[in-house]
A and B are shown apart, each in its own frame.
Chain A
Amino acid sequence: MSNTSNAALGLGQSPALASGFQFPSIHNFPPFYTLQPTASTWKNQADLWSTIVIRYYRHHRLYLLDLDDSTITNEQLFNNLRINRKLKPETIQAIVDEMVKKGDAEWDATSKKRRAIIYWRKPEDWAAMISSWVFESGLNNSILTYYEIAHGDNSEDQEFYNIHPTVLQKSMDILVKRGVAATFQGANFEEMGVKFFRAGA
């Protein structure tokens, strides 16, 4: 991942994870795990972290970052066993705060900044992706459930397969606002229905 100028900075490259993900070598930089008190330095650091978090989440198709879930904080993303450094939950929170400011993440309103959705794609992108998929597969003018979109047999090869319900809802809201689709109330979230009217958005 690191290009030549980064390699010149002299940090060792970690081996790729089992999932095939490769951290950039800045991930082995000890100060990367300390919240920098200098504003300009911290901005650079937070930018680097958000890039790595988004890459990691996209690679592993993850959506939710929960600070109360110890598996998240102990994950290799935030815990570098090689240099024995680990991000503190407060620092992760600060990083997510920065990501929220840029629109790369959103706090779950009820969680008091403990849970966040990481937008490795923007809701607008998801909306466009879903609607184009619907029209391409000729599913417009019929009602689809949310379950069919996220977990249906037809969408299995799509990037939004297993999409997080909150992200899906956000994307649908965007489509409804544009007048591309209409939602129908169901018994539960997965039985919510959506009908697409015409192509394009």
Chain B
Amino acid sequence: MDRWDPIQLTSTFRPQLEPYETIQITQDQVGLYDGRLKAEEYPNGTVYLTSERLLYIDAKNPARKSIGLPLRLISGIHNYGGFMSSSPKITLELYTRGSIADPQSSSDLIASRDNTSTGMDASLGSLSLKSEPSWVCSICYHSNQGGVMKCAVCGVKKPAGSDTPTTPAADPFLLNEHLYINGVSSNSHSQTSLNAATGFVDVTSSDPGYGGGGGDHPGIACPACTFHNDPFMIQCEICGTQLQDAESVAFMLHRQQQHQRSISQLPSTIAPSGSTSTSANEGSSYFKDNSSTTSTLGKGIVSSISNLVYTRNSPTRDSSKTPTEDTNSVKLSFRAGGNGHFHSALKTAMATRAWESKPKPEVAKKPVPNSADSLTTSTLKLGGISAVMRKVETNRIETDQVLSQAFQDLQGLMDKAAEMVALAETISNRLAKSNIMDNEQTATFKTYLLSMGIAAPVTKDTAGAVFHKELARELVEFILPIVEREGGTMSLMDVYCVFNRARGVELISPKDLHTACTLFLDLNLPLRLRKFDSGLLVIQTMARYSDDEVSETISTRIRRLPPGAGLSAVELASAIQISVALAQEQLLMTEARGLICRDESVEGLKFFDNLFAKWEI
């Protein structure tokens, strides 16, 4: 539990997201387990899966008992379907504390590291300091630097599924196992090299009493095209090559032999097991996952991996569990179901690894220029206004490109939503700073920009059963400032239009909106749905704009009119920028309080100050 951090909540008890962070799925009635024991503090809450974190918001005490776990700390996921009275659960295995599993922190070290290591000739000692994860090209086996997205030699893209570097020090599986074995946080292994692999094998085979860790493999790499397929695929999605072929059968046999061999080497902690057939599939897929890398690294690593696979899946696992292992796993208990969707969303989020593609701060990227570079840049550097002009021009072209890409199709727009919102914000900020705000057109434009702005709208897909609750919260967050600007009350129709415009493509139905609004009271949100006697539905802020205040404002407005002049609903609506229906309701409400009186004539219904009450006869 100590791996979780307290999180920031919005006013409506939804999680405060980081920039570029999006909610993937939401599930309520989830309890947390710390290791194998129930976490008493966190019995029931709503769990949000974002692109970067797993967030738990307690149902009873959201302000204090809300915690988050960065996804990058998760090394593996197990799904348990539930049986009889036991709820379905998802177990999350966490990286050991102190391991360099944190890509953020490791990326900070990039600057201090030179890029000369090819892995083959790097010494063990120096590598213990060089913690930057590197990766091996699946085609030419060139060891690339971690930050490089394409192979420096052959230009093949970094494989998506195995985004994790194959460096033992940073590979989630290998590292974890390795640490369990040694019980210390040591990085004394070479990266992406035969040396490393063999070294690893030695350690593993010398003490294979490993029992924890384990995890979800990203998929089966196709032997032909290296595409990472879903583990359940029989043929490669891209090239159609057989995945579960004779090779895997051969591998299975081979692995069994290995197993026999390893058993003879093992200490007595591992009991012989007959469950090889059940673990065969997983073992083979795991093997295939790494096959592109390992196939050339010699049989040693193959055997070591197969050993690992076997031990991980063998029944000895439970017996070898240590107390430290328990604290390194977390269980989510899905009391109201929904674990299936959550599991797949979690897997997707883990595979996407959004936290790595997040734009890094400028400072980290800044290289230290050598003398030759600084010489060339200084000659090219333009000074003064021309540089500013060129900067502005470059920015304009970039903005144009973003805009044209975003509006090419709807999918594109959705993908670019976050960028578009950021763009809208910058433009409105710039407008706010500039002095030419008296221009009416600019003001109108600004209101358009302000009403854009829900980057990651709550959808039925992401929120599931809690859709309406989440929608209500999102609505309040979005609409509260607008309602206050509109004078504390907005008709539901107006809300519907404004809200859907801001949501962009993820439109909601009027029924969903109405249902969400009826939940305001239950969720203790600062807005209320109100039905006027005429049937008009409005939402209004709770305290600040009471009926008393509204009626007082209206009667004052009417009293200021020239003598003998009345105020109609249409006039009021245009004067204070509200809908006519709402203006009518407010006038009738004021009238019912005896502050104004009506005049029905051929000219329509107009309202006057209530002189009858003041007249002295």
Residues of A within 8 A of B (CB): 3, 5-6, 9-12, 24, 26, 28-34, 36-38, 40-41, 44-45, 47-48, 51, 83-85
Task: Give Cα A183 to B312, complex, Å.
Answer: 125
- Contacting pair A31 B613 (CB below 8 A): no
Task: Give Cα A40 to B614, complex, Å.
Answer: 12
Minimal beta-carbon separation of B425 from chain A (angstroms) = 48
Interface set, chain B 272-303, CB cutoff 8 A to A: none
- Contacting pair B564 A26 (CB below 8 A): no
Top-6 shortest CB links A-B: A10-B563, A44-B612, A30-B599, A31-B599, A31-B597, A34-B600
Task: Give Cα A5 to B616, complex, Å.
Answer: 8
- B87 at interface (Cβ–Cβ under 8 A)? no
Known: A30-B564, A30-B606. A36 touches B598 (CB 8 A): yes
- Contacting pair A48 B612 (CB below 8 A): yes
* Of B591, B601, B615, B616, the contact of A38 (CB 8 Å cutoff): B591
Q: Could you name 16 residue pairs across A and B whose Cβ atoms are closer than 8 Å?
A: A3-B616, A5-B614, A9-B615, A26-B611, A28-B564, A30-B599, A31-B597, A31-B598, A31-B599, A31-B608, A33-B599, A38-B591, A40-B594, A41-B612, A44-B613, A84-B601
- B380 at interface (Cβ–Cβ under 8 A)? no
* A-side contacts of B616, CB under 8 Å: 3, 5-6
- Contacting pair A30 B566 (CB below 8 A): yes
**Sample of 13 more A-B contacts, CB < 8 Å, known A3-B616, A30-B601, A37-B591:** A9-B563, A10-B562, A12-B563, A24-B617, A26-B611, A29-B608, A30-B599, A30-B608, A34-B599, A40-B613, A41-B612, A44-B615, A48-B617
- Contacting pair B612 A10 (CB below 8 A): no
* B-side contacts of A12, CB under 8 Å: 563-564
- Nearest-CB residue, chain B, relative to A45: B612
- Contacting pair B601 A41 (CB below 8 A): no
* B-side contacts of A83, CB under 8 Å: 564
Task: Give Cα A28 to B599, complex, Å.
Answer: 12
Task: Give Cα A41 to B103, complex, Å.
Answer: 74
- Contacting pair B597 A11 (CB below 8 A): no
* B-side contacts of A37, CB under 8 Å: 591, 598
Task: Give Cα A33 to B597, complex, Å.
Answer: 11
* B-side contacts of A32, CB under 8 Å: 612
Interface set, chain B 581-602, CB cutoff 8 A to A: 591-594, 597-601
* B-side contacts of A47, CB under 8 Å: 617
* A-side contacts of B226, CB under 8 Å: none
Minimal beta-carbon separation of B555 from chain A (angstroms) = 12
Interface centre among A12, A34, A83, A84, by most B CB within 10 Å?
A34
- Contacting pair A51 B617 (CB below 8 A): yes
Minimal beta-carbon separation of B567 from chain A (angstroms) = 12
- B451 at interface (Cβ–Cβ under 8 A)? no
* B-side contacts of A84, CB under 8 Å: 601
* Of A24, A26, A34, A85, the contact of B598 (CB 8 Å cutoff): A34
Task: Give Cα A33 to B601, complex, Å.
Answer: 9
* A-side contacts of B566, CB under 8 Å: 30-31
- Contacting pair A41 B564 (CB below 8 A): no
Interface set, chain B 528-542, CB cutoff 8 A to A: none
Task: Give Cα A119 to B600, complex, Å.
Answer: 30
* B-side contacts of A11, CB under 8 Å: 563-564, 611
- B188 at interface (Cβ–Cβ under 8 A)? no
Task: Give Cα A38 to B594, complex, Å.
Answer: 7
* B-side contacts of A38, CB under 8 Å: 591-594, 597
Task: Give Cα A50 to B284, complex, Å.
Answer: 101
- Nearest-CB residue, chain A, relative to B602: A84
Known: A6-B616, A9-B611. A36 touches B564 (CB 8 A): no
* A-side contacts of B614, CB under 8 Å: 5, 9
- Contacting pair A48 B615 (CB below 8 A): yes
Minimal beta-carbon separation of B10 from chain A (angstroms) = 43
- B610 at interface (Cβ–Cβ under 8 A)? yes
* B-side contacts of A30, CB under 8 Å: 564, 566, 599, 601, 606, 608
Task: Give Cα A28 to B564, complex, Å.
Answer: 8
* A-side contacts of B597, CB under 8 Å: 31, 34, 36, 38, 41, 45
* A-side contacts of B592, CB under 8 Å: 38
- Contacting pair B608 A41 (CB below 8 A): no
Minimal beta-carbon separation of A32 from chain B (angstroms) = 8
* B-side contacts of A3, CB under 8 Å: 616
* A-side contacts of B591, CB under 8 Å: 37-38, 41
Interface centre among A9, A38, A45, A51, by most B CB within 10 Å?
A38
Task: Give Cα A26 to B373, complex, Å.
Answer: 91
* Of A5, A6, A10, the contact of B564 (CB 8 Å cutoff): A10
Task: Give Cα A11 to B598, complex, Å.
Answer: 16
Task: Give Cα A47 to B614, complex, Å.
Answer: 12
Minimal beta-carbon separation of B524 from chain A (angstroms) = 35
- Contacting pair B617 A29 (CB below 8 A): no
* A-side contacts of B611, CB under 8 Å: 9, 11, 26, 29, 31
- Nearest-CB residue, chain B, relative to A50: B617
- Nearest-CB residue, chain B, relative to A3: B616
- Contacting pair B599 A41 (CB below 8 A): no
Minimal beta-carbon separation of B565 from chain A (angstroms) = 9
- Nearest-CB residue, chain A, relative to B563: A10
- Nearest-CB residue, chain B, relative to A5: B616
Task: Give Cα A156 to B327, complex, Å.
Answer: 115
- Nearest-CB residue, chain B, relative to A35: B600
* B-side contacts of A40, CB under 8 Å: 594, 613
Q: Mark B127-152, 1 if CB is under 8 A from A, else 0.
A: 00000000000000000000000000
Task: Give Cα A24 to B592, complex, Å.
Answer: 26
Known: A29-B611, A44-B612. A85 touches B601 (CB 8 A): yes
Minimal beta-carbon separation of B586 from chain A (angstroms) = 15
Interface centre among B592, B597, B610, by most A CB within 10 Å?
B597
* B-side contacts of A34, CB under 8 Å: 597-601
Task: Give Cα A26 to B597, complex, Å.
Answer: 13
- Nearest-CB residue, chain B, relative to A51: B617
Task: Give Cα A84 to B601, complex, Å.
Answer: 9
Minimal beta-carbon separation of A154 from chain B (angstroms) = 36
Task: Give Cα A40 to B563, complex, Å.
Answer: 23
* B-side contacts of A33, CB under 8 Å: 599, 601
* A-side contacts of B593, CB under 8 Å: 38
* A-side contacts of B600, CB under 8 Å: 34
Interface centre among B566, B608, B614, B615, by most A CB within 10 Å?
B615
Task: Give Cα A84 to B591, complex, Å.
Answer: 23
Minimal beta-carbon separation of A11 from chain B (angstroms) = 6
